[in-house]
Amino acid sequence: MRKKKRLISLLLAVFIAVACLPAGIARADKASSIELKFDRNKGEVGDILIGTVRINNIKNFAGFQVNIVYDPKVLMAVDPETGKEFTSSTFPPGRTVLKNNAYGPIQIADNDPEKGILNFALAYSYIAGYKETGVTEESGIIAKIGFKILQKKSTAVKFQDTLSMPGAILGTQLFDWDGEVITGYEVIQPDVLSLGDEPYETPGTDIPISDNPAATPSSTPSVTPSPEVKPTQTPSPAENSAKVELEPVLDNATGEAKAAIDEEKLNKALDEAKKSEDDKLVELNIKKVENADAYIQQLPAKFLIKSDAEYKLRIATEQGIIEVPANMLNTADISKLVKNDSVVEFVIRKVKVDELGAELKEKIGNRPVIDISVVVDGKKVEWSNYKAKVKISIPYKPDAKELENHEHIVVLHIDDAGKAVSVPSGKYEPSLGVVTFETNHLSKYAVSYVYKTFADIGSYAWAKKQIEVLASKGVINGTSDTTFTPQADITRADFMILLVKALGLTAEVTSNFDDVSEKDYYYEYVGIAKELGITTGVGNNKFNPKAKITRQDMMVLTTNALRIAGKISSTGTRADVERFSDKDQIASYAVEGVATLVKEGIVVGSGDIINPRGNASRAELAAIIYKIYYK
């Protein structure tokens, strides 16, 4: 612990050194504050309360460190989006300030979840560039933390001083872009969480204070800083990847900047790349060219007709990034076009919104639109391969409103007829400043912002956000434009649609169940589930699509899907469901599936009840699908 605590202290010392300024003190304005506020102060066991740490009117804000304490017997710190338990190195998500990659944000966390301590820090490293803009990030969210309720007992979560942060104001330290410690701001603590019937008693030493003596230096070390290098805004490369920097040539007539790599250099890069869990990765970074409307990466086509995805190539440009697997072009239609000396070109072209029509222009606004295509030996090919997913990232800088609700930033697929539909896998990555998604075909794609809600979900606070996010992304639909009918049971077919969409599962549907017709709206989704082995039906090649799904069947199918998608590797046992009083009602075939989701924290039950044979409501399913969407 001591070494890590010192690392956190040194993070801010480094920040001051990089700023090339002596440590000093700056006084905040009277209206300045840092606050920790919860979305609600009541809940049931298994619920997740979300605490938001926000700074308000902090002039020239450029770095911080905070120490937050809680009772680990009552609450568990978790990722508010995925429900995954915090570890010692988990840095909370959700910040809307100090996130511009152009200024090299450095973050570090040294939590102690067993003792109920969250201690994390972040600062910009490229201070000169940040200060040069003259635009300060004075107000916004610096962290969002989920607290899962473990027992019904009133408790407190608060900022608290620690010996590792001398001079802190109630466990908080803020720094400005001159390297000065900010003082004079208000620290706003959250209300007591009224989780039990007994009134909360202020603890003495029950909530621990870190006793680590490694303190932030009281004076800045004498450091001769290295020349400042402005960080790239491209998403951080993988540690084991091989990187190739490419200088494109601009065709002034077409506005196309073309880069090329030959067989020898690509083979060398593949040899240098180290094998990891996600296969080898070679990064082809095309340098920015002024006045370029499109970027083209040229390479030997034979590198992309392998039998499996033994490696990936990431083509990065200022307009977008595309990551392609080695088997991308191994399709019946394209592989026969590829000769030994064939050349493939990936084209990433910027699209003007004005070219898309009034309706799309209204949806997209001034957000980026790109057109990605594949050309083999000078001929554009229509690529689609269910066995080879392509990952695409589009750089995007949201406005303040969008940052507050970044889960509503979506990706639209625009077809040749100009029709736009949401890509369910589209997510904004705050730490990278990009919108990412996966696809099995290439086309035009746009960034948009959609906030979809329904008139009948107000009383379902525990599922409201989940329903709105999934509906905005096109994962789930309402029962009408204005209603969701959250209390209604869901059918087996409709659940399969949600599951397949949320996990982005694809397959070639060669057959289906006898009671699923090609005319049915769920035909493709049920077919994919059958093809991948998620479901074998109810017997006699039947699926019973219109029957209401039970909670235990929902859990079995979800476990199967998560395994196939590579999202889980653990297996639950009967011991994981022992705490439920109705555990004996779980069918023998469902024990493993139910237990696995309980073990993974995806299903928590209601107190000591898991209700395996009850039907699952639309609201319940939305809450669960939301968890696996972010897993």
Same domain, residue pair 487 and 621: yes
297 neighbors 314 (Cβ within 8 angstroms): no
Predicted confidence (pLDDT) per residue in 278-298, tens digit: 678 999 999 999 999 999 999
Tell me whether residue 207 is in a domain.
Answer: no
Judge if 360 and 445 occupy the same domain: yes
Same domain, 359 and 389: yes
Whether the CB-CB separation of 491 and 506 falls below 8 Å is answered with no
Can you read off the two tokens belonging to residue 392?
Answer: 């695409």
Phi, psi angle pair for 362, to nearest 5°: -65, -40
Name the β-bridge partners of 78: 85, 146
181 and 32 co-located in one domain: yes
Number of domains in the chain: 3
Q: Which of 38, 30, 34, 31 is nearest to 63 (CA)?
A: 34
Would 80 be classed as within a structural domain?
yes
Same domain, 573 and 479: yes
C-alpha–C-alpha distance, residues 242 and 24, integer Å: 43
72 Rama sector, left if φ>0, alpha if ψ -120 to 50, beta otherwise: alpha
Place of tokens 């009383």: 459
Contact criterion met (CB below 8 Å) for 302 and 267: no
* Dihedral angle sign, alpha carbons of residues 499, 501, 504, 507: positive
Check whether residue 408 and residue 468 sit in a common domain: no
The reply to whether 442 and 470 lie within a common domain is no
CA gap 34, 65 in Å, rounded: 11
Which tens digit of pLDDT belongs to each residue from 433-447? 999 999 999 999 999
Question: How far is residue 467's CA from residue 473's CA, in Å, rounded to a whole number?
Answer: 10
Distance CA 621, CA 556 (A): 13
Alpha-carbon distance values, 518 to 411, 511, 523, 615 (Å) = 28, 10, 6, 27
Q: What is residue 29's predicted lDDT score, i.e. its pLDDT?
A: 56
The pLDDT tens digits of the residues spanning 218-263 come to 322 222 222 233 333 444 445 568 899 999 999 999 999 999 999 9
CA distance 263 to 269: 10
Is residue 403 within 8 A of residue 140, CB to CB? The reply is yes
Cβ atoms of 451 and 472 within 8 Å: the answer is yes
Hey, is 576 helix, strand or coil?
Answer: helix
DSSP state of 363: H
Indicate if 166 and 261 belong to the same structural domain.
no
> What's residue 292's pLDDT?
96
Residue 1: strand, helix, or coil: coil
Tokens at residue 195, please? 């989780």
> Which pLDDT score is estimated for 277?
56
Write out residues in the chain with pLDDT < 50, as ranges: 1-8, 10, 14, 16-23, 199-237
CATH, residue 420: 2.60.220
Q: CA-CA distance, 169 to 553, in Å (whole number)?
A: 52
Return the bridge partners of 284, or none: 244, 315
Residue 193 lies in a domain: no
Task: With beta carbons less than 8 A apart as the criterion, state whether 65 and 121 touch.
Answer: yes
| Pair 506, 409 in one domain | no
User: E strand or H helix at 75, and its extent?
Assistant: strand 75-78
Question: Which domain does 174 fall in, by range?
Answer: 2-188
Where does a domain end: 188, 213, 228?
188
In a domain, 151, yes or no: yes
Give which of 238, 270, 351, 256 is closest to 298, Cα–Cα. Answer: 256
Query: Which residue in the block uniquely carries the two structure tokens 């066995």?
Result: 387
Q: Are residues 262 and 145 in the same domain?
A: no
Under a CB-based contact definition with an 8 Å cutoff, are residues 28 and 183 in contact? yes
Residues 484 and 361 in one domain: no
Q: Which of 449, 483, 507 is the last residue of a domain?
A: 449
User: Do 478 and 412 reside in the same domain of the chain?
Assistant: no
User: Which of 449, 476, 509 is a domain's end point?
Assistant: 449
Q: What pairs with residue 175 in β-bridges?
A: 63, 181
Q: Is residue 209 part of a domain?
A: no
Q: Kindly report the CA angle at 619 between 488 and 536, in degrees rounded to 5?
A: 80
